[in-house]
Amino acid sequence: MTAWLKERFLLEGLMPERALLRLRRADIPLFHVKKTEKSRILFSVKKKDVEKVFAIYPNMCYNKPDNGAYRVKSLGATGLGKYAEKAKRRVGFLLGGLLGLSLVLASEPLVFTMDFVGTDVYAREVYQAFDEAGVSSFGVYRKGKEDIICAKLLALEGVEYCSVQKIGHRVAVDMRLSPFPSTRTETGVMQAKHEGEIVAMTVLRGSPLKKIGDRVRLGEALVGNWFSTEEGGQVRVEIIARVCIACTYEAIVEAEDEESAFAKAYLALGFSPDDKTTGTKIEKNGETYRVKIEYQTVETLNF
């Protein structure tokens, strides 16, 4: 019954004739083909072939002509099919309006979605708190649970303000985080993140496992998370320590000159704000440069 119904399409892209050829090879009959611009062609297909067109040229946001692909856009039904669709829309609009009105009246107590105001970093925890209070999407909103939900959310790290309010079929969750981040204490043994020689060491809490002048390897323990008692026992503590290590970095770099070679090596080294160079040496080696950088880096734990 839908054989006489047709739908109009706009095809855009470089050399759109190739796109039409691909449609013809897929046994899709084309009607009313008209080239309006160099990169645009209008054409119609039978209603039953619409899905085939979109299967070949999906309507995706990245299918842009300037990317060398093709973009196909439906312009709606043509001919008698256009009037048939209008008639269906009018009847559907009337029935939909009546049905919508009845649904609105019946769904007033329901919750359809949640709006996050301020921040949504704790979205998972918010949904969990609502589920525990018996409130979920497309469920009945239970009044009187707002204080319980807010209390759970205020217990999260960094949350200084929270409010819950139902507006229509939505629940607005307003959460604000403190502008002053809370500090987190790291636990465990302090391990070296660089290889070199210790030139300075300050340990306010914990047991030093190395001393100034010792060489350390990457991952080697620097400070233990304990202190020894007079009775010979050990007590676990959270380390507070700062260690300065003298390191050497060497690399073979391809560059046009010494300045470029040093810049490449410096970037590859990845200096932190507390690092400082103590010496550099650059030697030309054929087409490459041998770069040696001596520097001092500072490692801290809860310091």
Question: Which pLDDT does position 72 carry in this prediction?
Answer: 85
Helix (H, G, I), strand (E, B) or coil at 265: helix
Burial class (CB in 10 A: 0-12, 13-18, 19+), 189: middle
Q: What is the pLDDT of residues 197-225, one digit of tens each?
A: 999 999 998 999 999 999 999 999 999 99
Prediction pTM value: 0.41
Q: What is the pLDDT of residues 60-86, one digit of tens each?
A: 544 444 445 788 888 888 766 556 566
**pLDDT, mean of residues 37-49:** 87
Q: What are the tokens at 287?
A: 């087409």
Dist. CA 116–CA 170, nearest whole Å: 10
pLDDT over 70, % of the chain:
80
Question: Which pLDDT does position 88 carry in this prediction?
Answer: 60
Residue type, 208: P
Question: Which pLDDT does position 103 carry in this prediction?
Answer: 55
Give the pLDDT band (50/70/90) at residue 195.
Answer: very high
Q: Where are the beta strands (DSSP E) in the chain?
A: 6-13, 31-37, 40-46, 70-78, 110-111, 113-117, 139-140, 159-167, 170-177, 190-191, 196-205, 207-208, 215-216, 221-224, 226-228, 234-236, 240-254, 276-285, 288-301
pLDDT over 90, % of the chain:
22
Give the pLDDT band (50/70/90) at residue 183.
Answer: low
C-alpha angle 277-283-289 in degrees, rounded to nearest 5:
90
Question: Which pLDDT does position 234 carry in this prediction?
Answer: 83
Cβ neighbors of 55 (< 8 A, separation 6 or more) are none
Which position has the higher pLDDT, 103 or 226? 226
Which among 182, 183, 121 is positioned nearest to 153, based on CA atoms? 121
Dist. CA 289–CA 261, nearest whole Å: 7
Question: Which pLDDT does position 66 carry in this prediction?
Answer: 45
Which position has the higher pLDDT, 184 or 133? 133
Q: What is the pLDDT of residues 224-234, one digit of tens each?
A: 998 887 777 78
Q: Rank 2-16, 144-158, 164-178, 237-251 by mean pLDDT and report only the highest.
A: 237-251
Question: Which pLDDT does position 112 carry in this prediction?
Answer: 67
Q: Which of 78-92, 118-132, 151-165 has the lowest mean pLDDT?
A: 78-92
